[in-house]
Amino acid sequence: MASEEGVVLVLETKRNPAIWKIFDLCLMSDNHEMARCKNCGKFMKATANSTLKKHTDKHCPVTKAKKEEKGEGSGSTNM
């Protein structure tokens, strides 16, 4: 495996548009596909949409910060 991987090409996909508007499907220099979060830039396996959604909903630092700004943190309730 190469020590320095890079994006060769950003591919189009017709997979779940709600998820893939947040990710780029990238062809890497070692000829495999990875998903890149458009918010934080993290690369992830592009095989499971559920994993990508989990990243967006729970783990992406940019998404977390946006939710906190809007007051949508885990402790707030809207009544």
* Domain assignments of the chain as residue spans, ordered by start: 7-69
Rounded to 5 degrees, φ, ψ at 47 are -85, -30
Query: What's the pLDDT tens digit per position in 2-34?
Result: 335 699 999 999 999 999 999 999 999 999 999
Helices (H), 1-79: 17-20, 49-54, 61-69
Give pLDDT, residue 64.
86
**Cα dihedral 76, 74, 42, 9 sign:** negative
DSSP assigned state of 12: P
Give pLDDT, residue 9.
95
**Bridge partners of residue 51, in order along the sequence:** none
